[in-house]
Amino acid sequence: MEYRLYRSHRQSVSLKVTRNGEIEVRAPYFMPDKDIRRFVERHTDWIQKRLIAQRNYRENHPEPTPEEIILLKEKAAAILPGRVNFFAKKMGVTPTGIKITGAKTRFGSCSGKNSICFSYRLMNYPETAIDYVVVHELAHIRHHNHSADFYRLIESILPDYRERAALLRK
């Protein structure tokens, strides 16, 4: 089985199957190649399951066409500022800015300066899931972490936030 090997000053070995279906192994400098190969071989079943899952994901979530991207960005620009303003007032927070991006691995982010970014890809999800991401990012203005207080704040605004978050994983 082919894999890309990255060595570093780490203490353990790890496996990752990327979104592109590539296998990455991270290992300590001192670990012999034969031990790394043995580690990969012991995890062949796990790797195969991840490869199948990634292939299925890519087939069910094709990249949008340039025309679809324009429409998604327009939809995001029309919807998100209003949702951010609505929930920001309820939460007593003020973001310093709102930006629409093409991020592939996250639906939203909040900078240390309280500027919020949303991926246009979020527009492919139901309104309840979109509202969850908005509230999640706004909660980072008050709590720049994922602490219990952070989730209590989200729950005070969206008591069903777990169900809403689950929509993003489908």
Q: What is the CATH number of the domain that holds 150?
A: 3.30.2010.10
- The parent domain of residue 42 ranges over 4-60
CA 73 to chain centre: 18
User: Could you give the angle at which helices 161-168 and 127-142 cross, rounded to 10 degrees?
Assistant: 110
For the segment 11-25, the average pLDDT, to the nearest whole number, is: 93
- The structural domain count of the chain equals 2
pLDDT value, residue 153 = 98
**What is the three-class DSSP state of 109?**
strand
pTM: 0.79
Asked if residue 34 and residue 78 are part of one domain, the reply reads no
pLDDT tens-digit readout, 120-159: 999 999 999 999 999 999 999 999 999 999 999 999 999 9
| pLDDT tens-digit series, residues 81-123 | 999 999 999 999 999 999 999 998 899 999 999 999 999 999 9
Residues 50 and 74 grouped into a single domain: no
Tell whether 146 and 108 lie within a shared domain: yes
Is 103 strand, coil or helix?
coil
Domain shared by 55 and 71, yes or no: no
| Residues 113 and 160 reside in one and the same domain | yes
pLDDT digits (tens, 9 = 90+) for 31-73: 999 999 999 999 999 999 999 988 888 888 888 999 999 999 9
- DSSP letters along 16-56, please? EE-TTS-EEEEEETTS-HHHHHHHHHHTHHHHHHHHHHHHH
pLDDT tops 80 at residue 170: no
